[in-house]
Amino acid sequence: MTTLIFGHQNPDTDAITSAMSWAEFQKQAGNTDVEAVALGEPNDETKFVLDHFKVQAPRVIKTAANETDHVMLVDHNEFQQSVSDIEDVTIDSVVDHHRIANFHTAAPLFT
């Protein structure tokens, strides 16, 4: 089952490109069953960046549990900024530059 990688809702450039970069890193490290997705359509700045580098935007999802049991978070760690069913999936890793707030997991986590 594919692990989904995504940033926060209403994604900005760093949320989308961080998900894409972390997915590529995972693939290069041998974890090939990952996919970068987004929790909203890219804004104008992000569209400009992706168009400039001729990169396709990740597909948009609303929920994760209907597709996977495992996710990786980038550019956020607060559940209210994530998919609505974040508590129904296992968070395998978090890559974030924000302070940690109200964050808990049922299993060990790679940060």
Distances (CA, A) of 104 to 2, 48, 77: 22, 35, 9
Whole-model pTM: value is: 0.88
Say if CB 55 and CB 78 are below 8 A apart: no
| E strand intervals along 38-96 | 70-74, 90-95
The ranges assigned to domains in the chain are 3-95
- Strand partners of residue 60: 38
Question: pLDDT tens across 8-53, in order?
Answer: 999 999 999 999 999 999 999 999 999 999 999 999 999 999 999 9
CATH class label, 3-95: alpha beta
Give the pLDDT of residue 43.
97
Question: pLDDT tens across 48-88, in order?
Answer: 999 999 999 999 999 999 999 999 999 887 888 899 999 99
Per-residue buried b or exposed e for 50-74, using 16+ beta carbons within 10 Å of the residue's own CB: beeeeeebbeebeebeeebebbbbb
